[in-house]
Amino acid sequence: MGEQFSAPASQSLSQPFQFTCEATCPVTGARAGRFETPHGIVETPRFMPVGTLANVKTMTPAQVKDTGAQMILANTYHLHLQPGEGIVERAGGLHRFMNWDGPILTDSGGFQVFSLSEMREIDDRGVRFRSPFDGRVIDFTPEESIRIQNALGADVIMAFDECPPYPASREEVDRATARSYQWLLRCMEAHQRPDQALFGIVQGGTYPDLRSRAAADLAALDLPGYAVGGVSVGEPPELIEKIVQATTPLLPAHKPRYLMGVGTYREMAQAIAAGIDLFDCVIPTRFARHGTAMVAGERWNLKNAQFREDFRPIDESCPCYTCQNFSRAYVSHLIRAKEILGYTLLAIHNVTELVRFTQRIRAAIFAGTFATEFASWLAPAELSSGAELDHF
């Protein structure tokens, strides 16, 4: 390993942020809470739409807000490449630049950098890669990631970490986990803004002891919040569940817990039962751009002939703008004609659907009915054909 860093002193940077657990499911341990940020309160558990380039694809900020979304994400790596954090900062920060007055979270750029496997070099200092736009060499270090995120000005910023692939050897995952911890300490040293909460990310791959050690190391730093990372990178869903179930209880109960890159119904229900509070995923808008509607746990391809003359709303129980004003037939027509409005209407519905799913779970936790009302999502998963649960 490279240069070692001692843990910085107390996390006074967490003062503008407060997490309160308001109710707990006595059967599963699922919790409902309130996460206070400088730009508003996030009622948990909550799904957060992804706005990679400072926009949730095909949607206006007003449309996103109407879905019930309270917090959205933006991507440090992509915003650094285009338009550049300097422009965002001179515009007054990310909130003003994109006209979103609620809480925002920016990731560190780590996952995107590491996905450039043929274009980057990694060592203890950081990552060097070539821009996919113009080929210029870019150095991404923990300090640089934090500098960019400080300039962007999101409420929650993520530590720069190394996300190991799946599958990976124990040696590879151990090295990446140790490196991520050292990088976190450097992120803490570089962080300059008390109005931004720096979250640490628990890595460890599919190795329970590495996950346990990483969680203990991060918990000792008393950060404003914690994320479970390194899942949904190719593992079978059953293994994701095992990782989340084993890791989440090891994180401080009085801090928000965030599961990165997960947003299916079952994954969220299972993770909430384990004690997760926040989720993000590109699924709802990506599905929309492929003509897929999310309805009651199912995926409907609106290109199918059965929807051509179906004049009912996509979901008669859904309060979203799309379902209140348009038919399946109309949205199907737009999608088949490749009209942009069709993608927008489906994105509005799909984001609303996932936000409502977490809202319903929140209400069920308060009512004491979560374990029974969502029992179908909480049942143990059957192992996929040929899948292995590795070390869990």
What is 84-106 written as a DSSP string?
-HHHHHHTTSHHHHHT--S-EEE
Read off the amino acid at residue 122: I
Residue 124 appears among annotated catalytic residues: no
- Report the range of poorest mean pLDDT among 6-20, 264-278, 354-368, 371-385: 6-20
Q: Write down the catalytic residue from 107, 155, 161, 174.
A: 107
Structure tokens at 229: 């990372």
Helix runs in 230-339, H state only = 237-247, 265-274, 283-289, 321-325, 328-336
Task: Give the relative orientation of helices 208-219 and 170-190 as an angle to the nearest 10 degrees.
Answer: 10
Query: How far apart are the C-alpha atoms of 288 and 334, rounded to whole Å?
Result: 12
Kindly report the number of other CB atoms within 10 A of residue 122's CB atom. 16
Are the C-beta atoms of residues 76 and 156 closer than 8 Å to each other?
no
> What is the homologous superfamily of the domain 15-44+75-281 according to CATH?
Queuine tRNA-ribosyltransferase-like (3.20.20.105)
Q: Write down the catalytic residue from 161, 217, 280, 315.
A: 280
Is residue 167 reached through a cis peptide bond, with omega within 30 degrees of 0 on the bond before it? yes
Are the C-beta atoms of residues 166 and 158 closer than 8 Å to each other?
no
Q: Provide the pLDDT confidence category of residue 130 given band limits of 50, 70 and 90.
A: confident
pLDDT at 385 > cutoff 90: no
* The pLDDT value given to residue 383: 57
pLDDT at 115 > cutoff 90: no
User: How far does the chain reach from its first CA to its final CA, in angstroms?
Assistant: 27
Q: Provide the pLDDT confidence category of residue 1 given band limits of 50, 70 and 90.
A: very low
Paired residues of 41 in beta bridges: 36
Residue 107 appears among annotated catalytic residues: yes
Q: Provide the pLDDT confidence category of residue 133 given band limits of 50, 70 and 90.
A: confident
Write the CA distances from 40 to 18, 51, 150, 340, integer angstroms: 11, 18, 19, 32
pLDDT at 4 > cutoff 70: no
Q: Over the stretch 8-67, which tens digit does the pLDDT of each residue have?
A: 444 444 468 999 999 999 999 999 999 999 999 999 999 999 999 999 999 999 999 999
H helix and E strand count, the chain: 16, 16
Domain parsing of the chain, residue ranges: 15-44+75-281, 288-372
Query: How far apart are the C-alpha atoms of 87 and 68, rounded to whole Å?
Result: 29
Structure tokens at 149: 């995120």
Mean predicted confidence (pLDDT) in 337-362? 98
* The pLDDT value given to residue 207: 96
Q: Which of 78, 218, 80 lies closest to 151, judged by CA?
A: 80
Q: Which of 111, 106, 188 lies closest to 148, judged by CA?
A: 106
